[in-house]
Structure 1
Amino acid sequence: MRFYRATTFLFPRHYEWRILLACFAAVLSPLLALATYQWATGAWQPSLLLGLFAASLVAAGLGMLAIRALLAPVARATATLGAIHRGEAVPPLPRGGDDLVGQLLRAVAVAANGSAIRNPTLSTDTDHDALTGLHSRPGFLDLSEKVLSGDSNSVIALIDIDHFQSINDRFGRAAGDALLRAVGHRLERGIRRSDLAARWSGEAFVVLLPDTQLDEARLVLERLRASVALDPLLGPESTGNAWPVTFSCGLAPVRAFSHLGDATHRAHAALNAAKNGGRNRVRIAGNG
């Protein structure tokens, strides 16, 4: 840190340029030493000096290009952190190795995913949602990091109960809470044992389907959607079970934990498309 602070006067807004300058100085130092020796001894060899100077310039240029390329992931991580701070959607980060840059990319990916799925209406103190008994967002994120530790085809699904606010407004908060519990239990029973379900927001849920193709995930969610839509017992009791309960769903593929934030944004766009298309349907991100 001392050397870093001592060199901040050199290109104070461009850290990478200071590294390139240090590389250039290191490459040229042998040439300067040779020139000093020849000057001190009087044994000038201009052709040798010019040849070494040209070779040093080429080596310095190649070294600078290599260092600039090696610093690209750091620049990408810095830009991602800036987007997180501004509350913007962030693209998936590249996967790094086990070195220092790889550790940085993984840490930024965790921050990006935490920002993408953060919701202040849900408690962050426990791993489970108190109302539905499903995983909370923090619990879902922790388990997702383990489930998506490899590189395989997985799918994330965002589920939103249709017209839930109307149920709350017309029949009261207690009826809405009872419906959330009922749908949460139905969701937990309707997904596969390998799948991961959690509460997403007030009336929405999230499901991670590991090692699953999009078509397979759509069949699972379509089957669950139909079972909810055809069950009259899910309606608020005060209506005589006459109020239909349905949900809309958006699906998006995800291959790694570092891509989860981007996948949730795409699934949310698909969910909005399902709502705009009439609700009570499942949409895949990017599909019509």
Structure 2
Amino acid sequence: MRFYLATRFLFPRHFHLRIFTICFVAVHLPLLTFIASQAVIGEWEWQIFVPLLLATLAGTLAAIYALGALLAPIRQASAMLREVQDGKPVVDVPAGGRDLAGELLDSVGLAAIATNTRISQLRDAAERDVLTGLRNRRGFLDAAAHLRAGTRATLALVDIDFFKRINDIFGHDEGDMVLREFASRLTETMRRSDLVARWGGEEFAILIPGMGPRDARALIERLRTALHADPIGPNPEEPVTFSCGLAFLRGPEQIAVAMQRADKALYAAKRAGRDRIELDEARMLDA
């Protein structure tokens, strides 16, 4: 490190130019020595000087190209580190050789992949509900923000009926089992393109792109029918049911408003006796 630190005054921001400068001096040392000796004796042997000069220039050009190529692993390693620092995924990780530069490239590549994997795991953990495995509220909003502008979609808010009674009578462990089973049934019913999340407590949010409220109602009605045919819950006499509110939207910028309208429709379903699906009528003409 001493020599490296001592030569920092040579192109402090360009390591490859520092190496080139040192090599340039070393390559030209024989030529400079020859010129000095000719000056001392006062004679010029052009038949020696010209080939020596041309050979030196050719060697210099070859050294410039070779140094640039040999420093490629270091440049690649530096680029990967910048991508990791910027939070970008490192996709193309070239294999290095068995020399020092290759080992550096391999080490940086492995570190970059491990860092990206860990960041992805942490991001996924931060956006997942631990109990159900669905997205949480943050994960739902982050994913919903990627909905293409102007895309027609339906937002559904689903709330398990009388869930507090399950917790009070049978305990929170049974309540957790109901949440997990309900989340599983919900995921099985919805399409792969639909965004399903646990919004909070016993409430779930669903974003159904490319589908209007009436078609979305038919889709969620399948879940309601399935729960009647194959009920879940600790009490066979009182199978788990749910209430749902639906609202139409176009594009991610309308999600907040659609959430409010779906919430109103949900409470309308509860006031109407629960175990039902209600549509927000305010935007039905737009759907």
Q: TM-score, normalised by structure 1?
A: 0.53
- The within-5 A match list for 1:211-230 is 211-230=210-229
Q: Say which of 232, 252, 269 aligns to 1:274.
A: 269
Q: What secondary structure is seen at the aligned counterpart in 2 of 1:253?
A: strand
Identify the residue that residue 119 of structure 2 maps to in structure 1: none
Q: Distance in 1 between matches of 2:173 and 2:237?
A: 17
Note if contact 1:162-1:247 (Cα within 8 Å) is conserved in structure 2: yes
Q: TM-score, normalised by structure 2?
A: 0.54
For 1:261, the aligned partner's letter is: A
Q: Distance in 1 between matches of 2:125 and 2:223?
A: 30
Greater relative contact order: 1 or 2 (C-alpha under 8 angstroms, separation 6 or more)? 1
Identify the residue that residue 233 of structure 2 maps to in structure 1: 235
Q: Distance in 1 between matches of 2:230 and 2:151?
A: 35
Q: Distance in 2 between matches of 1:235 and 1:242?
A: 9
- The within-5 A match list for 1:1-288 is 126-146=126-146, 148-232=147-231, 234-236=232-234, 239=235, 241-286=236-281
Q: Which of the two has higher C-alpha Rg?
A: 2
Q: Distance in 2 between matches of 1:272 and 1:216?
A: 21
Q: Distance in 1 between matches of 2:167 and 2:229?
A: 21
Q: Distance in 1 between matches of 2:195 and 2:125?
A: 19
Note if contact 1:235-1:242 (Cα within 8 Å) is conserved in structure 2: no
Q: What is the RMSD computed on CA atoms of the aligned residues?
A: 1.7
CA distance change for structure 1 residues 194 and 125 in 2, over 3 Å: closer, same or farther?
A: closer
Q: Distance in 1 between matches of 2:213 and 2:170?
A: 37
Q: Distance in 1 between matches of 2:125 and 2:184?
A: 22
**1:283 shift after superposition:** 0.4
Structure 1 unaligned residues grouped into runs of 5+: 1-123
Q: Distance in 1 between matches of 2:166 and 2:127?
A: 28
Q: Distance in 2 between matches of 1:140 and 1:284?
A: 21
Q: What secondary structure is seen at the aligned counterpart in 2 of 1:156?
A: strand
Note if contact 1:168-1:176 (Cα within 8 Å) is conserved in structure 2: yes
**1:149 shift after superposition:** 2.5
Q: What secondary structure is seen at the aligned counterpart in 2 of 1:199?
A: strand
Identify the residue that residue 100 of structure 1 maps to in structure 2: none
Q: Distance in 2 between matches of 1:254 and 1:166?
A: 34
Q: In the TM superposition, what whole-angstrom CA distance separates every residue of 1:129-165 from its partner, at most 9, and x where no partner exists?
A: 000000111111111011x222121000000000000
**1:258 shift after superposition:** 1.2
Q: In the TM superposition, what whole-angstrom CA distance separates every residue of 1:74-126 from its partner, at most 9, and x where no partner exists?
A: xxxxxxxxxxxxxxxxxxxxxxxxxxxxxxxxxxxxxxxxxxxxxxxxxx971
For 2:261, the aligned partner's letter is: R
Q: Distance in 2 between matches of 1:264 and 1:276?
A: 18
Q: What secondary structure is seen at the aligned counterpart in 2 of 1:250?
A: strand
Q: Distance in 2 between matches of 1:171 and 1:230?
A: 23
For 1:206, the aligned partner's letter is: A
Identify the residue that residue 68 of structure 1 maps to in structure 2: none
Q: What secondary structure is seen at the aligned counterpart in 2 of 1:200?
A: strand
**1:205 shift after superposition:** 0.4
Q: Distance in 1 between matches of 2:214 and 2:156?
A: 12
Q: Distance in 2 between matches of 1:203 and 1:267?
A: 16
Q: Distance in 1 between matches of 2:134 and 2:228?
A: 21
Structure 2 unaligned residues grouped into runs of 5+: 1-123, 283-287
Q: What secondary structure is seen at the aligned counterpart in 1 of 2:193?
A: coil
Identify the residue that residue 67 of structure 1 maps to in structure 2: none
Q: Distance in 2 between matches of 1:207 and 1:161?
A: 14
